[in-house]
Amino acid sequence: MRKAIIIGGSSGIGRELAKILVHEEYIVGVTARRIQLLSELQKEIGPNLLVKKMDVSKPEDAVRILHELIDEMGGCELLVISAGTGFINPGLSWDKEEVTISVNVSGFTAVAAAAMLHFIEKGRGHLVNISSIAALRGQRNAPAYNASKAYASNYMQGLRQKAGHLRLPIVLTDIQPGLVDTAMARGERLFWVAAPEKAAQQIFDAIRKKKKHAYVTKRWRLIAWVLRFMPDFLYKHF
């Protein structure tokens, strides 16, 4: 059976994606801080789901636990990074900015690099990052969050270039969801909010097709186009 690991699968998109992968006959390892929620998911899905407690804000521990999980599973051919956090932080409170950076930048980098090195050693693999459409532009009420997602997408591009330079069949997929009905969907005037189940299915479709990039849901491609080309004198009013 194929083997996949999801970093950050206790709720939301990661949780729903774990269900899909098991249904598609993967053995799936899932990590998160909230081990109780993982245990509940394991009872729901069955023996093809392995769980481990991991806090990606502690990079060295996260990498060690990832290696332990890969060893327990006897390898990994697909790794999805779904862990992330963010805050509406117009007051620029450092504690919120620091947490965002520790998870979305330091933790992400540690796990992504470890996964990439595993795939290089193995000679193939598929690394998926669930980023955000927020990566496209900075935002005054959540500056660290948007910047961290831009960093992650750029890092994935660098890893893709590295795989090409090494001439290895390692697929790098960057997913940029719009609004999904999870704890991360904060703020007013929310629109086009997708159910986690729908978002996870579209992400799996992108994985199956080995896409380099995908917006989720697909209609957010239009918003992405608007954000990319909107002049600053208009964007500053958003």
For the stretch 174-186, pLDDT in tens is 999 988 766 554 5
Task: Give me the domain span that covers residue 14.
Answer: 2-235
Q: What are phi and psi of 203, to 5 degrees?
A: -65, -45
Whole-angstrom distance between the N-terminal and C-terminal Cα of the chain? Answer: 47
CA dist 197 and 204 (Å) reads 11
Q: In this structure, are residues 66 and 114 in contact, taking their beta carbons and an 8 Å threshold? A: yes
The mean pLDDT value for 18-42 works out to 94
Q: What percent of the chain has pLDDT over 90?
A: 75
- Asked whether the beta carbons of 175 and 129 are under 8 A apart, the reply is yes
Query: Two tokens at 226?
Result: 């608007």
**CATH, residue 141:** 3.40.50.720
Going through 82-187 in order, the beta strands assigned E by DSSP cover 125-130, 170-177
How many domains does the structure of the chain reveal?
1
- Three-class SS state of 101: helix
Do the beta carbons of residue 130 and residue 104 sit within 8 Å?
Answer: no
Residue 232 tokens, joined? 């600053």
Measured distance CA(140)–CA(53) in Å, rounded: 33
Rounded to an integer, the average pLDDT of 19-42 is: 94
pLDDT value of residue 184:
53
Q: 110 pLDDT exceeds 60?
A: yes
Residue 216 and residue 201: Cα distance in Å, rounded? 10
The pLDDT mean for the chain works out to 90
> Is the pTM above the cut of 0.85?
yes
CB atoms < 10 A from the CB of 39, how many?
A: 13
Out of 21-25, 165-169, 219-223, pick the least confident: 219-223
| pLDDT-wise least confident of 97-111, 133-147, 178-192 | 178-192
Residue 199 has pLDDT above 80, yes or no: yes
pLDDT range class, residue 79, cuts 50, 70, 90: very high
Side-chain half-sphere of 143: how many Cα atoms within 13 Å? 8
